Every structure is written in C-alpha cells, then in structure tokens.
Amino acid sequence: MSSVARILIVNDNKAMRRIIGNILKQASLGDNIIEADSGQKALIALKKHKFDLIISDLSMPEMSGLDLQKAVKDDADLKHLPFILITSERQKDKAISTGATDFIVKPFTAETVVQKVQKAIETSKALL
C-alpha cells in the first residue's frame, strides 16, 4: 500500500495522537497526517482538507467521537469517509453499534492499528 492516505487523528490526548501518528508513519501509511484535539477542530479540518480516513477517540470532552461521527455521516461531502473509533474495553459495545467502519480497543498494539487502517483504506478504495 502506498503512503498517500491523508489521515485525520482526533484525540484530546496529545500523546495518544502522536503514538498513533508514529505508528502510521512507521508503517508508511501516513505521511499526510493532521491532528485535531477536539471534535470541533476536526470538523474545521474536514472542511479545509480532503481526507481518506478519520481515526477518533470515542470519549472526548465537549464533542465525543460518536457526535463527530454523526456530524460526518450527516454531511453529504464527508459521509463516504471511513471512520475508526478508538475505545476502551468497557465501551466496546457502544463503538460496535455506531456504524463506524471499525474500532480499536485500548490498549492496542501497533499491529492492530496498521491492520485496521489498511483494511479501512482498502475497503474505501474498492467502493469508489
């Protein structure tokens, strides 16, 4: 897979955004990564840039990952974007029921992140 995917990482925890970004860069999946520390900032970034994938934490203050996903799915220009939710084990059922493309349960391994991102991007390209 080429490293042309433009990925938006949304998480209120800076360290977690960097960890995910580094995993994607090391796997040559994300040399085009933009980070947002809130759902509101993610929506602004989504209007400014074209993305191939969104990876968002489920639990964030003010605008949860679920609220962000709903806003994306309700927007005709964005609804096609694959959306991966990051969640804790105890919120796994909530993440499954959202209609997200996929989910990653914390704590996660680099291998899990790479596999889920590759699958989401490949599936999205196949649908186009």
pLDDT recorded at residue 4: 60
Please tell me the distance from the alpha carbon of residue 123 to that of residue 119, in angstroms, as a whole number: 6
What pLDDT score does 1 carry? 41
- pLDDT surpassing 90 at residue 128: no
The partner residues of 55 in beta bridges, in order of sequence, read 9, 84
List pLDDT tens digits, range 76-104: 999 999 999 998 877 777 766 777 889 99
Give the chain's largest Cα–Cα span: 35
Q: What is the pTM (predicted TM-score) of this model?
A: 0.91
What is the average pLDDT value for the chain, to the nearest integer?
90
Residue % of the chain over a pLDDT of 90? 73
Given a contact cutoff of 8 angstroms between Cβ atoms, the answer to whether 83 and 95 are in contact is no
**What's the rounded mean pLDDT across residues 4-28?**
93
Question: Phi/psi of residue 85, each to 5°?
Answer: -95, 140
pLDDT at 3: 46
Domains of the chain, CATH where assigned: 6-127 (3.40.50.2300)
- By three-state DSSP, how is residue 88 classified? strand
Distances (CA, A) of 126 to 1, 18, 109: 13, 29, 26
For the stretch 30-43, pLDDT in tens is: 768 999 999 999 99
